[in-house]
Every structure is written in C-alpha cells, then in structure tokens.
Amino acid sequence: MLNYVLSRLLTFVPTFFGVTLISFAFIRVLPGDPIIVMAGERGVSQERYDQLAAQFGFDRPMYVQFWDYFTGVLQGDLGNSFVTKKPVWDEFFTLFPATLELSLCAMVLAIVLGLPAGVIAAVNRGKFFDRALMSTALVGYSMPIFWWALLLIIVFSGNLGWTPVSGRIDLLYYFPDPTGFMLIDSLASGQKGAFWSAIRHLILPTIVLGTIPLAVIARQTRSAMLEVLGEDYVRTARAKGMSPARINSIHALRNALIPVITVIGLSVGTLLAGAILTETIFSWPGIGKWMVDSIFRRDYPVVQGGLLLIAVMVMIVNLTVDMLYGLINPKIRKR
C-alpha cells in the first residue's frame, strides 16, 4: 500500500509542473495589463509604468519570470497579491473553508439523493419512476448553473421569501470564526438563530452546486446497478433466498459503487468549477468568487497561485478516490 501511494505521488510531479506552467501562461495570454488596470481611469505615465514593470519583474524575459515563480512555488512562496499585497497562500486558506463548506454540502446532497435514486431507478427499470428520474437527471445535467441559480433565487428568495439572496449569514450576527466553517462557528458562538441563519444561506447554493453531480451520480449509479444486477453472483444471492432489498442494497450496490466512486471523484473538479459561478451569483466569499475578481483585476499571482492550489486539491481528491477503490474492491487492495 505504501509503495502504491508513493508511486502515485511520483506521478504528481509532471502534473504539478504542467499545472504550474499552464496557470502561469494562462493569465498572461489574456489581454489586459495589470499595471494599466491598477492605474485606473487616470492612467499612468510611461516613466511610472516602466518603474512598476521593473518592480513586478515584467521587464525580464518570460522564462526567467517563470523560473522565479516556479522556484518560489517549490519553496512554498506563491507570491503576494498585486491588489491586497497579502500572500496568496494566506488569502487562499482564509477563503477556502467557505468553498469547502459549500462543496461538501453540495457533494453530500448529491450522494445522499443520487445513490438511492439511481438504485431505485435500476431496480424499477423501464417503469414510470425510472423514466421520470432519468429525464429529470438529464435536465439537471444540461441546465446552465447561472440560469438555474437565478431561477431559484427569483422563486424562493424573491417570490416566496423563504431564503436569503446572498452571503453566508445575516449581518446581525457577528462572532469569531476559528474554523472558517460557518455551520460550526455559528453553532459554537451560541448565538440564538445564528446556526439557522447559516443553514438558510446554504440551502440555495448547495442545491445549485449539487445539481450536476447529483444528476451524474444518479445516472452512473443506475447504469452500474443495471450491469451488476445481471451478474451471476446476484443470481446466487437470489438462489440463497435473500430478499430483494438485501440483494440490491448489499450484494449489488457494493459492486456498483466502484464506478460510482470514480464519478464522485471526477465530480470534485466539476464542483470547484461550478463553485466559481455559484459563489459569484450568491456573493459567497469563497475562492471561486476570489478567483473571478482576481481575473478581472489581472492579479497575476492570485490567479496562477489559486489555480495551482485548486489543481493540487483535485489531485489529492483523485488520490483519495484511488485509495477508496481498495477499500471497496478487494481485488485492487491485494495487488
């Protein structure tokens, strides 16, 4: 197992280098100049421009800039934001809990609803529930996130007034945030109504962000279950006189989980991409919104550093998923 983890970590090296290079190049390929953006409407004199360019190192050849950046990254230095002058690393980890909280809730929603829905659809293949569920899943999967989010806001926040429009918590609550997770901090603060307010703020973003993974998980679970239900060992379980509920939820689901786990792992990437839109729409103070704002400001260190950290998160999740395979599928464990 240790060897396996080490060999997987080794494959991270080229990926890591590639991601660093791409994120570095990506923001520089975009039109726009950070110095001009910083100068704002009044503009900047050529003299001052050259001075700033020299200060940020833009006057040196691109490969030297990259080498500087890359060696910095290897030493854990992602540079400072052009705008706030704070280290990118610190900003990322201040905001990351908000994104993590939202993503976790969305993932839990997707799994808790998607798995059973897929199983029930597979068991009732071709019947009304199956067809209804699969068409709904297809709609959910193809729905543009921003449109879906606006629709929910109009109905539930606008017309019905059930949920807040944006933010993580009502402004009348204020408390320290040692963990950065609003649900935990609001509960720990002991303020009346704070926890409930945090939950109400989470509902719509969670639904919006969880919709696509939910649809994907439901469909994947269904097709995996259908395949597994035709296997010989399911017939054996029936020949043993086991109840359909037991066969579906234990004998078949355990085997069907293997491809589903893959999809869940891959969804994490989609989730982080979706978080960027969702956070922007709901003014959720997470890394998604932070990244979007930084792109508009041409804040090079933040964009390249943020992208790199997100990529590393995805790589770690994928490694975790590979470890999970072993837990679920004994054939992989023993190899």
In the complex, the residues that contact other proteins under the rule CB under 8 A are: 231-233, 235-243, 246, 251, 254-255, 328-331, 334
In the complex, minimum distance from the CB of residue 225 to other proteins, in angstroms, rounded to a whole number: 14
Answer yes or no: are the C-beta atoms of 270 and 276 closer than 8 Å: no
Amino acid at 174: Y
Task: Select 192 or 335, whichever has its Cβ closest to other proteins.
Answer: 335
Task: State in angstroms the smallest separation of the CB of 231 from other proteins.
Answer: 7
Between residues 27 and 257, which has the closer beta carbon with respect to other proteins?
A: 257
As measured in angstroms, the least distance from the Cβ of 121 to other proteins is 16
Of 11 and 236, the one with the shorter C-beta distance to other proteins is: 236
Smaller CB separation from other proteins, 270 or 329 = 329
Beta bridge partners of 80: 87
CA atoms within 13 A on the CB side of 76: 1
Contact between 84 and 293 under an 8 Å Cβ cutoff? The reply is: no
What is the Cα–Cα distance from 139 to 112, expressed in whole angstroms?
A: 19
Closest contact distance (angstroms) between CB of 230 and other proteins is: 8
User: Alpha-carbon Rg of the chain, whole angstroms?
Assistant: 24
User: Is 24:66 a contact under the CB 8 Å cutoff?
Assistant: yes
Question: Which is nearest to 260 in space by CA: 335, 331, 329?
Answer: 329
Two structure tokens written together for 212: 């696509």
Residue 208 CA to its chain's centroid (Å): 12
Minimum CB distance to other proteins, residue 252 (Å): 9
Of 222 and 251, the one with the shorter C-beta distance to other proteins is 251
Pick 6 or 239: Cβ nearer other proteins: 239
Q: How far is the CB of 326 from other proteins (least distance, A)?
A: 12
